[in-house]
Amino acid sequence: ATRDTTRFAWPSLAPLSYSATDLSDGEREEVTFDGLHVTGVFGTTPLPFDLTLPSPVFGPGSMALLARAVPLREGYTATAPTFSGEHRLRDAAIAVVGREDADRRDGTTVSAFVVETTVGRQTQRYFVDPETRDLLKMTVAPAPGYLLEGTPH
């Protein structure tokens, strides 16, 4: 399990900071964004970095927010540049792949938009309420044959 915190500027969604600790092995990531200047540490024995990026990026932890912000229409696709201490620069592929029934907090069912985000080999699916843009659930397959499903609390 990982404990993480992401901070964004409003309304631009520009990343301000990200911190995460892997509770199983103590791996730590701390990233501070100041425009194109990025500083931080990463690793179980945290190694520092200090970089200037070529263009604006989205920070770690931004995929759920992006999934709720894109135009909710089947077939929509986009690419968003991302940065993390572990992988540095990577493109995130975002696609609205269809609709599936999902439960709202009040117990009613809605035909939610399914938004997939892929960064590297990791694909997550977000189920977004078409009326409120609330995140109803998310799924991720961390390894073949495994599927983790989460709901916001």
pLDDT value of residue 68: 94
What tokens appear for 1 in the block? 């399990």
Model pLDDT, residue 153: 63
| Regions of the chain short of the pLDDT cut 50 | none
**Sheet of 28-34, strands arranged across:** 2-8, 15-22, 28-34, 37-43, 47-52
Q: Residue 137 burial by CB count (10 A; 0-12/13-18/19+): exposed, middle or buried?
A: middle
**pLDDT value of residue 4:** 84
60-70, pLDDT tens digit by residue? 788 898 999 99
What is the pLDDT at residue 1?
66
**CA-based nearest residue to 34, from 53, 49, 21:** 53
- Looking at residue 35, its pLDDT comes to 92
pLDDT of residue 16: 94
